Amino acid sequence: MSQPFTNRVALVTGASAGIGWATAKSLAEAGAKVAVSARRGEKLEALVAEIAAAGGKAKAFPADVSDPAATDAMWAQVVDWAGGVPEIVVANAGRGLAGGVLSSDESAWESLFKLNVTGTMHFMRIVAGAMKAKLEAAGVTPADADFPGADLVVLGSTVGSNVSPFSGAYGASKFAVEGAVEALRREVGSTGIRVTNIKPGIVLSEFQDVAGYDEENFGKTVAKFGKMLQPEDIARTICHIVAEPPHVHVNTVTIRPVGQDYP
């Protein structure tokens, strides 16, 4: 595998499973030195060991990004370990919640939005702010040969732009994320920071169990749509986008299983 990210540092949140795990591995295979973060420290250590066994470099930084203070502390530790602001940041931490506005667990709404929306926006704020300060201090633009790169990739969802009555609260949180990502893209794009929204359809991972989706009904969905996406499909897409030249920005990508007609 080619290594386009040699001499770059990446940070992936929500890296203890699924898309985050696969993305961290893919970035490391492509040459990046990777910081991985999630709440489950033991899972992160297993990921770090797997990356190291394949010849890569990684370090675990456990944190709950729904807690701004924990996020700030984690970010400071990553910057110290990296020797500067990472060139690639993937904001993947988040969770789902089964059910519509009437049927979902209302007691879970606040924690859902605290992680998916306010926690994600706080993380976006500190990352983009640090990237902007770094680029301004260096006095470089995407037109310069020595432009270091500055990518903030945020995981959205197809239900963040296609209303689903079966994912009412979760979809609402991803609508908010979509708005925040596009607003930030317009705010900092002129500096060379690429803020990208990745909107996956159905990806088979532990996401479904954590969100509380009914196993029987989800099985019917799989039977209807056919082969589902795997976390590696999303990771491959992210690596492709980040590897584009600095003046090129694939800013929004919707990626679904070929048989998924909705949402």
**Cβ pair 215, 3 in contact under 8 A:** no
Q: Is residue 170 among the annotated active site residues? A: yes
The pLDDT, as a whole number, for residue 121 is 99
Could you tell me if residue 110 is inside a domain?
Answer: yes
> Can you name the residues that pair with 91 across neighbouring β-strands?
154
Whether 2 is covered by a domain: the verdict is: no
3-state secondary structure of 229: strand
Given a cut of 70, whether residue 89 has pLDDT beyond it is yes
Structural domain total, the chain: 1
**Three-class HEC string of 44-105:** HHHHHHHHHHCCCEEEECCCCCCCHHHHHHHHHHHHHHHCCCCCEEEECCCCCCCECCCCCC
* 4, part of any domain: no
Active-site residue identified among 170, 175, 213, 225 = 170
Confidence band for 212, pLDDT divided at 50, 70 and 90: low
Domain residues for the domain of 60 are 9-255
Closest CA to 5 of 25, 33, 38, 24: 33
Of the candidates 127, 136, 240, the residue with the CA atom closest to the CA atom of residue 192: 136
Residue 217's pLDDT band (boundaries 50, 70, 90)? low
Bridge partner residues of 90 (DSSP): 12, 153
pLDDT tens, 230-240? 999 999 999 99
Q: Tell me, what CATH number does 45's domain have?
A: 3.40.50.720
d(CA 57, CA 4) in angstroms, rounded, equals 15
Structure confidence at residue 223 as a pLDDT band (50, 70, 90): confident
pLDDT at 163: 85
Tell me if 168 is assigned to some domain.
yes
Flag whether 174 is in a domain: yes
Q: State residue 214's pLDDT score.
A: 67
Residue 1 lies inside a defined structural domain of this protein: no
138-187: pLDDT as tens digits:
999 888 988 988 999 999 999 999 988 989 999 999 999 999 999 999 99
Q: What is the pLDDT of residue 205?
A: 78
Does residue 191 lie in a domain region? yes
Q: Tens of pLDDT along 30-78?
A: 999 999 999 999 999 999 999 999 999 999 999 999 999 999 999 999 9
> Is residue 261 a part of any domain in this protein?
no
Other Cβ atoms less than 10 A from the Cβ of 59: the count is 18
